[in-house]
Amino acid sequence: MSTLPERHRTAQLLSELTRPASALVVAHLPARPGATISSAQLQQRTSLPGKEFWVTVGRLVEVGVVRRTANGLALDRDQLDGAVTALVADSPLTAILPHHPRLESFCRWGRVVRAPVEPELVDELYAALAELFQPGETLTESEVNARIVSVHDDPAEVRRGLVDRGLLHRNPGTALYRRP
């Protein structure tokens, strides 16, 4: 599990990347490792006004996404790889997957990225996802969704699948769930 400063830094980096101007700048940086682009070329490609461009570049440099070099600006792949590694380390799937090696091909970067087709593997996936919850633990629907969304893009589908398979019980007439 990553440390609090690493998680904070990763959160800052992700927050910055969600800003439209930052995403635009990063999208126009050369993807090839070691490649650079002049700030003038990058500003022209992004069409950002001068002040907004330089503030954005400064923020990206501060969070470690962009490096200034003698030849211009470059994407800092090591920083991005470090952020992804920190996120994967914090994923609950990191602890669960070693017990379910057949599911590794359906997961990437600490998330379920595709569903198996074989019924046996589908059941194993739901059994693995049930491990997000402690036996006897009672949670609200939003708490259940929060755990699921940390590893899967469709919490409603997974929640229903867990309930249908008896891996999670829903108290009738309430939005309370319990793992038997």
pLDDT at position 3 is 62
Distance (Å, whole) CA 55 – CA 61: 10
Provide the β-strand partners of residue 170. 177
Residue 111: both structure tokens together: 């998330």
The mean pLDDT value for 153-167 works out to 95
Q: What is the pLDDT of residues 31-68, one digit of tens each?
A: 888 899 999 999 999 999 999 999 999 999 999 899 99
3-class SS of residue 174? coil
Q: How confident is the model at residue 7 (pLDDT cuts 50, 70, 90)?
A: low
Residue identified by tokens 């198996």 is 116
Distance (Å, whole) CA 120 – CA 118: 5
Q: What is the pLDDT of residues 73-98, one digit of tens each?
A: 999 988 888 877 777 777 899 899 99
Q: Which CATH number does the domain 4-84 belong to among 1.10.10.10, 1.10.3720.10, 3.90.1280.20, 1.20.120.160?
A: 1.10.10.10
Domain boundaries, the chain: 4-84, 91-178
Provide the β-strand partners of residue 140. 176
